[in-house]
Amino acid sequence: MPRKLIKRLLPHHSEVKKHKYLKHLGSHLHDPNLWHLNRHSVSKAVAVGLFIMYIPLPFQMLLAAIVAIWWRVNLPIAVAVVWISNPITMPAMYYAAYRLGAWVMGIPPQNLEFEASFEWLAQSLNGVMEPLLLGSLLTGTILAILGYLSIQLLWRIMVVRSLSRRKERPRKAPPP
């Protein structure tokens, strides 16, 4: 079952509560809903992480943690899902989001020649910010919905399989 694998991979909640940067959150980290591994908390956490990873802002992990605490969903999973967006995947993700936003807005996408400078970044963002934000919100919303539904379905399938395997096992005879 996925619960056993997830429990093995994630840190124990007592370790997270003792972390020096997280102590100031105090009682908020003691909410058991932040640590439960059930179908609903995991699927909602995946949705939170998938939506936030498409928001073109720094500190996405911090934002995912705040939303997870606010919505009382599994904190480690929400933060871990955000890691899908990283320096390797971000260019393709945000380019696709920009193209989607430009298509929805009905404007032709700009051909940008990349330069590694703040001047180029400031000039380029003026023309692409609105389509990028719209595309990011649309893509994040669609992925969050698909992620939520996928986890709900996969978890349900795993539970049904586990129950059917349990029924197939031979029972031991009761002691006389």
pTM: 0.76
Number of domains in the chain: 1
Of 120, 100, 29, the closest CA to residue 66 belongs to 29
Q: What confidence category does residue 112 fall into, taking pLDDT thresholds of 50, 70 and 90?
A: low
> Which residues constitute the domain of residue 151?
2-164
Phi, psi for residue 3 in degrees, rounded to 5: -60, -45
Residue 144, exposed/middle/buried by CB under 10 A (0-12, 13-18, 19+)?
buried
Does a structural domain hold residue 14? yes
pLDDT tier for residue 147 given thresholds of 50, 70 and 90 = very high
Residue 171 lies in a domain: no
* 28 inside domain: yes
User: Residue 1: is its pLDDT beyond 60?
Assistant: no
Q: What is the mean pLDDT of residues 101-116?
A: 80
CB within 8 A of 112, min separation 6: which ones? 124, 128
What's phi and psi for 152, nearest 5 deg?
A: -60, -45
pLDDT > 70 fraction of the chain, expressed in percent and rounded:
72
Q: Does residue 173 belong to any structural domain of this protein? A: no
d(CA 12, CA 23): 15
92 part of a folded domain? yes
In whole angstroms, give the CA distance from residue 47 to residue 19.
25
Query: Per DSSP, which regions of 1-158 are E strands?
Result: none
Could you tell me if residue 76 is inside a domain?
A: yes
22 falls within a domain: yes
